[in-house]
Structure 1
Amino acid sequence: MSEDTTTVSDKSGKREFDVVVFGATGFVGELTARYLATHAPVGTKIALAGRSEAKLVALRERIGGAATDWPVIVADADSPASLDAMVSRTRVVCTTVGPYLKYGEALVVAAATAGTDYVDLTGEVPFVRFSIDKAHDLAAGSGARIVHSCGFDSIPSDLTVWALYRKIAADRAGELTDTTFVLQSFRGGVSGGTIDSVRVIADQAKDSQVRRLMLNPQALSSGPGDPPRSEMRSEPSDLNIVSARKVDPSLSGTLAPFFMASHNTRIVRRSNALLEGGYGANFHYGETMNVGDIPVVSAVTAGLVGVGTGAFLGAMSFGPTRRLLDRVLPAPGEGPNQKTRDKGHFTAEAFTTSTTGRRYRARFRGHGDPGYKATAVMLGESALALALDRDRLPDHHGVLTPAVAMGDVLTERLNHAGFSIGAVAL
C-alpha cells in the first residue's frame, strides 16, 4: 500500500502532481528522476511510481535534494485499477516501463481516458499502432496528449525535420522535398531496454500481419483503424545505402543504414500526416549513418552495416542464436557507469532541398550517452513541457509525436538544457 492516499482530480483539470515518473526504479527511470530533481523549476510537483514502495523510498533517499519530499505511488503495469488511480492524480505520466508491447497498453489507455498527458521511450512500431487504434479518439476527446518516442528514439529525428520545416516556412522558400537524416557521430551504448524491445518485436514479427505492419513505411500515418496501404518503394528503404553527395553536395563517401530508421522514419511521417501533409506534397524521408568520407572504405563499411543489421534482426528471431546473444547483450535495467555516460555524445543532421531549389540543413547535437544520459534529459524536458508550458503548446490532442505535440517549445527547452538544435540555409 502506498504511503500517500489518492486524491482524485476534479473536473476543472486540477491535479495533485505535475509529473509522475512511472518505472522510476529502473535504470533510465532513475536517470530521469535524478534529472528532474536537479532541473525541474522549484515548486514543480513530482512523484515517483512503481511496483515496490520500498524500492521507491530507497530511490528517493539516494537522489536526495529536491526529491526528498516527493511522494511515492505504488502502481503495477498488470493492475489497471492501480494505473487508473495513478493517472488521475497527475497532469503528466512519464513512463520508462518497457517493452511497451508487454507493459504499456493498459497505461496508455488509462492516460487517454483520464485526460492525462503521457510521454514514453518506445521504439516499437506495433505499440504505437496499438496506441493510435485504441487511444487516439479517447485522448482527443479527453484533451490528452499521448506522445511516444521522447528519447534518442525519436526526438533528434523528429525535431531536425521540424526545424527544417520551420526555417523553410520562415524563409518563404516553399516546402520540403526528399529529406535525409544523417547520424554524423555517435558515442554510447544501446540500452538494455532497447534490446528487450527488439526481443519482443522479433517475437511479434513471426506473425505475418505484424510483419506487414512493420514493413509498411506509412504504418503510423493514419488515424484509428487499418494503417494505409503503402508500397515499400514509396519511401527510402530502412536499409538504404546511398552516396552521400546525393543527399547533399557538402557530403562525401557512402552512407550506411541507421539501425533505428525502421521506427524513427514512421514517427516523422506521422508528424507530417498529423500536420495534414504540411511538410510538403513531395516530402519523402529516410535515415542514414556516416561511416567515413573515404569512398572505398565507407562503401565497404556501409555494406557491412547493412548486412549486419539484417543479420542481427534475423538472429534475434532464431532461438539458438538469440540465446547466445542474450549472454553478451545488456539486460533490461542495466547500463553503463556515470563516467561512460558522461563521455557519450551524438551529432545528427537532416538535409533537404525546398521546392524553390534552396538547400537546407538542420543539426541536433547532444552531450552524454544518447541511450541513457541524453535520453533522460529529452524525456524529462518533454514531461516538463507538457506539464508546465501547456498555454504555449499547439492545440493538438490524441496520439501525437514530439514535434506535433511540443515543436518549438521542446526545441527551446532542449537548447536551454545544453543541446544544440537549429536549421540554416546552405
Structure 2
Amino acid sequence: MAETVRAHDLVVYGATGFVGRLLAGYLAEHAPEGTRIALAGRSRDRLEEVRAALPPAGRDWALVEADSTDPESLRALAEGTRVLVTTVGPYARYGLPVVEACARAGTHYADLTGEVLFVRDAIDRCDALAKETGARIVHACGFDSIPSDLSTMLLARRAREDGAGGLRDVRLVATMRGGFSGGTIDSMRAQVEALQQDPALRRVVGDPFALSPDRAAEPSTRQPRDGAMPVRTDDGRWTAAFVMAPFNTRIVRRSNALQNWAYGRDLRYGEVMGVGRGPLGAVAAAGITAGLVATVSAMSLAPTRALLDRVLPAPGTGPSAAVRQKGWFRMVVDAETEDGRRYRATAAGPGDPGYAATSVMLGESALALTLDGDRLPDRAGSLTPATALGEVLVERLRAAGHTYEVTAV
C-alpha cells in the first residue's frame, strides 16, 4: 500500500492502558508539529478520555477503534498508518494478530514486550512476510531491552574502531529504583501458564539462542546462567539474579546473529542485578534471587497463584507519578575483547525504568521509525532495537536525557 494514501504517520495502539497513556503523553510533548498521530483501542469513550487529558498538541489527534480479536479492524488499523506502536499485552495473548497485520500491510511496528515465546512465534510467522513488504518489526523497545541491546552494539563498534577484535566476555550489572505494574506481572503469569499447557516450550525458554535467526549456525560457546546465584565482585558489591536477563540476553544474541555475528562469534553475554556491599548486600542478593524463584514457583500452582493475584498489582495499573519521578536506572556493561582489551559501556537515565524511562525509549523508537526512515539501517523483517534503529536511536535517547557512553578501562 502506498504511503501517500495512509491517514496517519503513527498510531498508538493500547492508548487507554497504563503505559499507553504515558506514551501518548510523551509523544504529545515531543513529536514534531505536523506529525499525524492517532490513538487506538477497543473503546472510543476511553480513548476520548485519554485524548482530553493530553497536552494541547494531542487533543485533536484522531481516534481509531480496533480490537485484537477482530481481524478486519486490525487490517484497517495497520493499512491506515505508516507506523504502529503497541502496548497491548500480554503479547503472547494479544500480540500476534497485530504483528501479522502490520507485516502484511508493510507497516513498521514497535512494542515493549519482554516475552521470549511471543517473539519466537512472531519471528516464525511474520519475519519472511515483513521482509517481502518492507516492514520493520521491532520488538523490545522499552527497558526490555534497549539499554542492553544498544550498549552491546556500542561496545562492539568501539572495539572494531580500535582494532581490538570482537567481543568475548560481556556482563551487564543493572541497578535501578522503580516499581512494578500489573501489565508486567500479567506477562509473567501468561508465560508460566503457557509452559504449563505445553511443557515442551521449556526447551525454547531455556535455550540461550532461543531467538536466533539460524539456530543451527550458532556457535557452541557456553553462555552465562540467567538465574545467577549471588556473587561478590572485585569491588565488594554483591550481585543477584536479574529478572530481565532471560529475555534481554536473547535479544542481544539475536542482534549479533542478524549482523552475521559482528559482535563476535565467541560472544558470552550475561546480566545480573547489582545490590549493596558487605553483609547487608549479601542478604539482599540472596533475598532477591530466592524471591524470583519463589514468585515463579508460586505462579505455577493454582492455590498460590490465587494468593499472589490478591497482593500483586492488577493489569492496567502501575507506579504512582511520585514513584515514577523518583526512579532511575544505571546499567554498567563490562566487556573483554578477543585481544584482551577491556571496555565499559554505561546506559543510564532518570525516571522509573519500567514506565517513565520506558515511555521515553518506546516514544523515541516510534519517532525514529516515523521520521528517520532514510537514516535507519537498511533492513526489514523481525528485528531488534540495535539492528532496526541503531545509532539513530542512540542519538535520540541522548537528546532526551539518557546516557550512552563507552570508555576504555
* TM-score band, normalised by shorter chain: over 0.9
1:405/1:131 Cα in 2 relative to 1: closer, same or farther (>3 Å)? same
1:54-78 superposed Cα distances (whole Å, 9 cap, x missing partner): 1111211111411121100000011
CA contact (8 A) 1:77 1:103 kept: yes
2:73 is matched with 82
Out of 73, 79, 99, which is 1:108 matched to? Answer: 99
Q: Does 1:411 align with 2:394?
A: yes
Task: Please give the residue correspondences for 1:355-366 in structure 2 after superposition, counting only pairs within 5 Å.
Answer: 355-366=338-349
CA contact (8 A) 2:347 2:405 kept: yes
2:183 is matched with 193
Task: Please report how far the alpha carbon of residue 253 of structure 1 lies from its aligned counterpart in structure 2 after TM superposition.
Answer: 3.1
CA contact (8 A) 1:182 1:348 kept: yes
Task: Please report how far the alpha carbon of residue 231 of structure 1 lies from its aligned counterpart in structure 2 after TM superposition.
Answer: 11
1:255 is matched with 239
Give the % identical residues.
51
1:345-390 superposed Cα distances (whole Å, 9 cap, x missing partner): 1111111111121110100111111111111111110000011000
Out of 376, 380, 389, which is 1:397 matched to? Answer: 380
Out of 298, 321, 330, which is 1:338 matched to? Answer: 321
1:5 is matched with none
1:157-209 superposed Cα distances (whole Å, 9 cap, x missing partner): 111111211221222221101100110x2111112111000110010111222
CA contact (8 A) 1:20 1:46 kept: yes
1:283 is matched with 267
Task: Please report how far the alpha carbon of residue 42 of structure 1 lies from its aligned counterpart in structure 2 after TM superposition.
Answer: 1.1
1:273 is matched with 257
Any idea what SS the aligned residue of 2:200 has? helix
Out of 29, 33, 39, which is 2:20 matched to? Answer: 29
Q: Tell me the TM-score normalized by structure 1.
A: 0.92
Any idea what SS the aligned residue of 1:234 has? coil
CA contact (8 A) 1:291 1:298 kept: yes
Out of 32, 54, 61, which is 1:70 matched to? Answer: 61
Q: How far apart are the structure 2 equivalents of 1:215 and 1:230? A: 15
Any idea what SS the aligned residue of 1:278 has? coil
Out of 213, 227, 238, which is 1:239 matched to? Answer: 227
Any idea what SS the aligned residue of 1:205 has? helix
Task: Please report how far the alpha carbon of residue 332 of structure 1 lies from its aligned counterpart in structure 2 after TM superposition.
Answer: 1.0
Out of 179, 194, 216, which is 1:204 matched to? Answer: 194
Task: Please report how far the alpha carbon of residue 13 of structure 1 lies from its aligned counterpart in structure 2 after TM superposition.
Answer: 6.0
2:306 is matched with 323
After the TM superposition, which of the residue ranges 24-33 and 62-71 deviates more from structure 2? Answer: 62-71
Q: Tell me the TM-score normalized by structure 2.
A: 0.96
CA contact (8 A) 2:144 2:244 kept: yes
CA contact (8 A) 2:78 2:102 kept: yes
1:3 is matched with none
CA contact (8 A) 2:109 2:137 kept: yes
Any idea what SS the aligned residue of 2:224 has? coil
Task: Please report how far the alpha carbon of residue 304 of structure 1 lies from its aligned counterpart in structure 2 after TM superposition.
Answer: 3.0
Task: Please report how far the alpha carbon of residue 149 of structure 1 lies from its aligned counterpart in structure 2 after TM superposition.
Answer: 0.9
In structure 2, stretches of 5+ residues that fail to align are none
1:352 is matched with 335
Q: How far apart are the structure 1 equivalents of 2:232 and 2:127? A: 38
In structure 1, stretches of 5+ residues that fail to align are 1-9
2:171 is matched with 180
After the TM superposition, which of the residue ranges 348-357 and 134-143 deviates more from structure 2? Answer: 348-357
Q: How far apart are the structure 1 equivalents of 2:260 and 2:218? A: 17
Task: Please report how far the alpha carbon of residue 222 of structure 1 lies from its aligned counterpart in structure 2 after TM superposition.
Answer: 2.2
2:407 is matched with 424
Task: Please report how far the alpha carbon of residue 341 of structure 1 lies from its aligned counterpart in structure 2 after TM superposition.
Answer: 1.0
Any idea what SS the aligned residue of 1:282 has? coil
Any idea what SS the aligned residue of 2:354 has? helix
1:97/1:406 Cα in 2 relative to 1: closer, same or farther (>3 Å)? same
1:56/1:367 Cα in 2 relative to 1: closer, same or farther (>3 Å)? same
Q: How far apart are the structure 2 equivalents of 1:12 and 1:252? A: 56
Q: How far apart are the structure 1 equivalents of 2:220 and 2:275? A: 25
Any idea what SS the aligned residue of 1:195 has? helix
Q: How far apart are the structure 1 equivalents of 2:316 and 2:40? A: 16
Any idea what SS the aligned residue of 2:265 has? coil
2:29 is matched with 38
Q: How far apart are the structure 2 equivalents of 1:172 and 1:363? A: 21
Q: How far apart are the structure 1 equivalents of 2:314 and 2:81? A: 30
RMSD (Å) for aligned C-alpha atoms: 1.8
Q: How far apart are the structure 1 equivalents of 2:299 and 2:169? A: 32
CA contact (8 A) 2:221 2:266 kept: no
